[in-house]
Chain A
């Protein structure tokens, strides 16, 4: 906070007196526990922060007011006083029938939005009967092969009244088309459909590794969905630019922030190159960050992210509409921070992480269940995780005022330092020619691999304490009940359904729509106005399977092979 020289001198002299007369004798008697304190991302933390740390701080420029540039204090004028964040629990396993039951249960429990977890064959664009799908069908999410499965998944759920988030990337266009086709069948008009597809393909190459096509066609398909959304679906978020997986892969908080914004910048630049004004699509971009253990570092990360994105959109890309400057974000507690040892402790970790997300100003939140290091969550574990959010929302009072940590000498300093370090990364990525080129050179992959190995070594040396793992270890671990899934049931049922579907459906529109997709994909002009999305929609309406559509695209574009970076 800017203050006059007299005030600054008065504080400085008081601090010197404190150091000399109070602090020093204490340190002589009782040295501190460590010479250096760091965040979990190795960011140094000092003993004390005072107004002197913020002597050049400009309130209106650096913080401003909620709902106003640069949005440090929050994206909305009233934040949680107006509306509690969306409690959106990621769920899905087995068949569409089973997941439909779980969704309806979660909605009955007071959940306010749906979030679909797909199984790996779906995420990779294979049907359940593909040889690569063996052993994986319905295991880490729900298996979706065709529109028929999507109809089952949302059976008796009115899609005009809920918003749905779908964690799907390489085949995002296809799953989105299936969702839209279900909405059409339910009679919900396009302008009343709300939700998100993750569709953040660049972080797949960096972190989650569910890429299918090489970088260039991957970007083309992604931009295709943004263009389609801008034309036809004003309330849909065509991408959730995700740091979550980058962090789970082992990055630091600053790397998560920088690489996520760099991915977002690549999408903005590619869409602008395709001829769209930033204000025509930027208000629909959304984000997704991890919330890890280091409480204040996480809060500062969210605040820095909003301020940086606002600056980027306004200054660098020239967006005029204030809605284009908003970084609205989903948050999920850190799966990688949970321990298999003493799993009940995870309930506490999740509560603290969730509180950081709320103090950081997230728009929606998923809280992990305590048993997820070993299996998909049981209903009971997932319910406790949801209740954790409800307790924060309704019992703690942290929602009563906006940005309660704003103005803290520590939090404001940390926010600023994290922002500065993230800008340094963005400069490096700019120097490499942008994020697509940086990925081709393996830059973010190597940074993450190094950070992940460094963290593991710190844990093994005991420098990084993990309760129950390298400190406060239990002699006997009590087993907890885990979700039991029939290992083959989903695969058998899905394979039978595909078999029946292919016998039953009319083959002319199948061949015809697939041919249209093939021709458009082979088109030489990568940013053609002739979008793929409407053609994919035609195909899913004709019950062409996910694997068939992705198969045609695989033939046209080839597949990405990753250089191994250890």
Chain B
């Protein structure tokens, strides 16, 4: 019997924001839920995050940003993934994000935005159901 491959998630902190409480909690919660988790650490450019995602062959990328730069950083990550042929990687995010930005981020290809107060289990279930579904 072949052992089922663990879902691989890259948790990333794009941009200059140093607020890593949420990213660390999410990384730990995913790990405790049986995922393979890679945490990038701080101050990652979209290019660095996408390279790490491809190199680590992840199923999903979770990005966290509390500085207000999400409208540049999140879509840029999706765009670079597409350019590098990795558009099957699920991108989801969280942070200090106004409601009205959420539809725009979805349109740009971010699968879901989890705002403050979301239980980690909601994000975990979402990724479990969606990640790898479209993988070739």
| A226 CA to B121 CA, complexed, in Å | 47
Whether a CB of chain A sits under 8 angstroms from the CB of B24 is: yes
Whether a CB of chain B sits under 8 angstroms from the CB of A469 is: yes
Q: State whether A248 touches B21 (Cβ < 8 A).
A: yes
Whether a CB of chain A sits under 8 angstroms from the CB of B117 is: yes
Residues of A107-143 at the interface with B, using a CB-CB cut-off of 8 Å, are 120-121, 123-124, 126, 131-136, 139-140
Interface string of B73-99 (1 = CB under 8 A from A): 100000000000000000000001111
Whether a CB of chain B sits under 8 angstroms from the CB of A390 is: no
Interface size class of A (residues with CB under 8 A): 35 or more
Q: State whether B28 touches A566 (Cβ < 8 A).
A: yes
Task: Find chain A residues with CB under 8 A from B96 CB.
Answer: 372-375
Q: How distant is A373 from chain B, measured CB to nearest CB, in Å? A: 5
Query: Given A136-B69, A376-B68, A469-B117, are A456 and B25 neighbors across the interface (CB < 8 Å)?
Result: yes
Q: Which of B16, B31, B117 contacts A121 (CB 8 A)?
A: B16
| A340 CA to B98 CA, complexed, in Å | 10
Closest to A488 in B: B72
Interface size class of B (residues with CB under 8 A): 35 or more
| A516 CA to B28 CA, complexed, in Å | 47
Task: Find chain A residues with CB under 8 A from B42 CB.
Answer: 209, 562
Task: Find chain A residues with CB under 8 A from B120 CB.
Answer: 456, 460
Q: State whether A449 touches B67 (Cβ < 8 A).
A: no
Task: Find chain B residues with CB under 8 A from A485 CB.
Answer: 68
Q: State whether A140 touches B68 (Cβ < 8 A).
A: yes
Q: State whether B116 touches A373 (Cβ < 8 A).
A: yes
Q: State whether B15 touches A249 (Cβ < 8 A).
A: no
Interface string of A193-205 (1 = CB under 8 A from B): 0000000000010
Whether a CB of chain B sits under 8 angstroms from the CB of A186 is: no
Query: Given A120-B17, A120-B67, A374-B96, are A562 and B41 neighbors across the interface (CB < 8 Å)?
Result: yes
Whether a CB of chain A sits under 8 angstroms from the CB of B111 is: no
Residues of A440-456 at the interface with B, using a CB-CB cut-off of 8 Å, are 449, 452-453, 456
| A376 CA to B69 CA, complexed, in Å | 12
Q: State whether A135 touches B116 (Cβ < 8 A).
A: no
Q: State whether A139 touches B67 (Cβ < 8 A).
A: yes
Q: State whether A339 touches B41 (Cβ < 8 A).
A: no
Task: Find chain B residues with CB under 8 A from A249 CB.
Answer: 20-21
Q: Which of B16, B19, B99 contacts A124 (CB 8 A)?
A: B16
Whether a CB of chain A sits under 8 angstroms from the CB of B34 is: no
Whether a CB of chain B sits under 8 angstroms from the CB of A482 is: yes
| A466 CA to B116 CA, complexed, in Å | 12
Q: Which of A204, A374, A564 contacts B39 (CB 8 A)?
A: A564
Q: State whether B24 touches A374 (Cβ < 8 A).
A: no
Q: State whether B41 touches A340 (Cβ < 8 A).
A: no
Q: State whether A487 touches B71 (Cβ < 8 A).
A: yes
Interface string of A239-255 (1 = CB under 8 A from B): 00000000011100000
| A248 CA to B22 CA, complexed, in Å | 11
Q: State whether A340 touches B115 (Cβ < 8 A).
A: yes
Query: Given A136-B16, A139-B69, are A374 and B98 neighbors across the interface (CB < 8 Å)?
Result: yes
| A23 CA to B83 CA, complexed, in Å | 71
Q: State whether B98 touches A482 (Cβ < 8 A).
A: yes
Closest to A93 in B: B68
Q: How distant is A293 from chain B, measured CB to nearest CB, in Å? A: 15
| A452 CA to B31 CA, complexed, in Å | 16
Q: How distant is B115 from chain A, measured CB to nearest CB, in Å? A: 5
Whether a CB of chain A sits under 8 angstroms from the CB of B27 is: yes
Interface string of B94-119 (1 = CB under 8 A from A): 00111110000000000000011101
Given contacts A249-B21, A341-B117, A565-B24, 18 further A-B contacts (CB under 8 A): A120-B69, A124-B16, A140-B67, A250-B25, A372-B96, A373-B115, A374-B96, A374-B98, A449-B24, A449-B28, A453-B29, A456-B29, A460-B119, A460-B121, A468-B117, A479-B99, A487-B71, A566-B27
5 contacts between A and B (CB under 8 A): A249-B20, A453-B24, A453-B25, A468-B117, A566-B31
